């Protein structure tokens, strides 16, 4: 992330959603707990040489383990960010979030907050604050310092001294101090020009119904039909390699065609850790394109999922959604 010439944050809103960072022991194991504001203030007071911006704190209720994150919670989080900037007068936001779905939320907020002229940073920790060898204060303090030095407007992910672009990274480890990594995904695609008014961060978003389906050897129309008939509006189809699927299965292709006819937007991404989708390389991919599947290029699962939620939630015409899917909006394709 390039921080050159960006204005240093003066007043940061800290939004606490729960997650490991503030968890405490319960009879059923670690659980989200209130009281993190006082703990954060105490540890900062104990480091007078540490220079961070002024900050204020808001606890989002209910506090959750991020395994329980939902698109409805994203909407409340978007509203909290907008309130912090537009009403409370903050010039930056720090979101404390559990790591399991942090990459999903950060990617989704990248699309939900398009046009926001303030930096928003997500961070969390792999161990709760206060336990031996915890990374909690290291990440909180580091994120605050990064904001104090100045970050570009938009959403960032901070962890263990590194700033990552949320639409190009994922959680790749369930252990250690470096759970997140930038993925070496393909780059390309045209960049969006003027932002459609419906996608501006100030515009409320409706809840959308989006699913993810990974392809596997032997998958048939029945599995796909189950999703189509469940009422989804969008589908992230995790394909093999550069965007291939069971192209010799007429029923499977017919189901994809039916999805297109019903206005369901289907994006193909790759299951591979590196590279991306090029639907026209193989016949098995071009047949998917032929029944209306769109190319997700090098988009990650998290980015494609969050992008569909934002586009469909903006109540845009289906043809406009399909057009915007293949345009880069906030670095997801570049």
CA–CA distance, 244 with 276 (Å, rounded to integer): 11
As a whole number of Å, the end-to-end CA separation of the chain is 13
Paired strand residues for 134: none
Paired strand residues for 157: 122, 164
Helix (H, G, I), strand (E, B) or coil at 58: strand
Query: Which residues have a Cβ under 8 Å from the Cβ of 45 and sit 6 or more positions away?
Result: none
Plot region of 231 (φ>0 → left; ψ -120 to 50 → alpha; else → beta): left
Q: Which of 17, 20, 101, 244 is catalytic?
A: 20
CA–CA distance, 267 with 262 (Å, rounded to integer): 15
* Residue 61 burial (10 A CB sphere; 0-12, 13-18, 19+): exposed
Using an 8 Å Cβ cutoff, are 266 and 293 in contact? yes
Look up 20 and say whether it is catalytic: yes
Count of alpha carbons within 13 Å of 225, Cβ hemisphere only? 8
Q: Tell me which residue of 131, 129, 69, 128 sits closest to 100, measured CA to CA.
A: 69
Helix axes 102-112, 301-313, angle to 10 degrees: 40
CA–CA distance, 218 with 248 (Å, rounded to integer): 11
Please give the positions annotated as active site.
20
């Amino acid at each position: 992330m390039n921080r050159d010439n960006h204005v240093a944050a003066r007043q940061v809103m800290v939004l606490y959603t729960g997650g490991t960072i503030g968890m405490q022991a319960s009879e059923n194991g670690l659980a989200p707990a209130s009281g993190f504001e006082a703990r954060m203030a105490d540890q900062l007071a104990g480091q007078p040489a540490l220079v961070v911006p002024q900050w204020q704190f808001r606890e989002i209720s209910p506090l959750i383990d991020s395994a329980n994150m939902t698109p409805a919670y994203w909407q409340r989080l978007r509203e909290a960010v907008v309130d912090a900037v537009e009403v409370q007068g903050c010039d930056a936001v720090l979101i404390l979030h559990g790591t399991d779905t942090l990459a999903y939320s950060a990617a989704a907020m990248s699309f939900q907050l398009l046009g926001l002229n303030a930096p928003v940073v997500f961070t969390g920790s792999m161990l709760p604050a206060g336990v031996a060898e915890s990374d909690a204060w290291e990440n909180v303090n580091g994120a605050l310092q990064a904001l104090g030095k100045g970050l570009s407007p938009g959403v960032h992910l901070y962890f263990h001294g590194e700033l990552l672009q949320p639409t190009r990274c994922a959680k790749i480890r369930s252990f250690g101090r470096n759970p997140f990594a930038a993925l070496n995904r393909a780059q390309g695609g045209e960049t969006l020009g003027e932002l459609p008014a419906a996608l501006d961060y100030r515009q409320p978003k409706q809840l959308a119904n989006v699913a993810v389906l990974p392809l596997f050897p032997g998958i048939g129309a029945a599995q796909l039909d189950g999703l189509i008939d469940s009422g989804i509006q969008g589908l992230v189809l995790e394909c093999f390699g550069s965007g291939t699927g069971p192209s010799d299965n007429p029923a499977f292709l017919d189901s994809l065609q039916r999805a297109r006819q019903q206005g369901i937007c289907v994006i193909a991404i790759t299951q591979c850790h590196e590279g991306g989708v090029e639907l026209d390389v193989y016949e098995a991919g071009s047949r998917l394109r032929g029944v209306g599947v769109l190319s997700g290029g090098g988009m990650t699962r998290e980015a494609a999922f969050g992008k569909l939620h934002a586009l469909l939630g903006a109540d845009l015409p289906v043809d406009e959604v399909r057009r915007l899917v293949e345009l880069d909006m906030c670095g997801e394709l570049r």
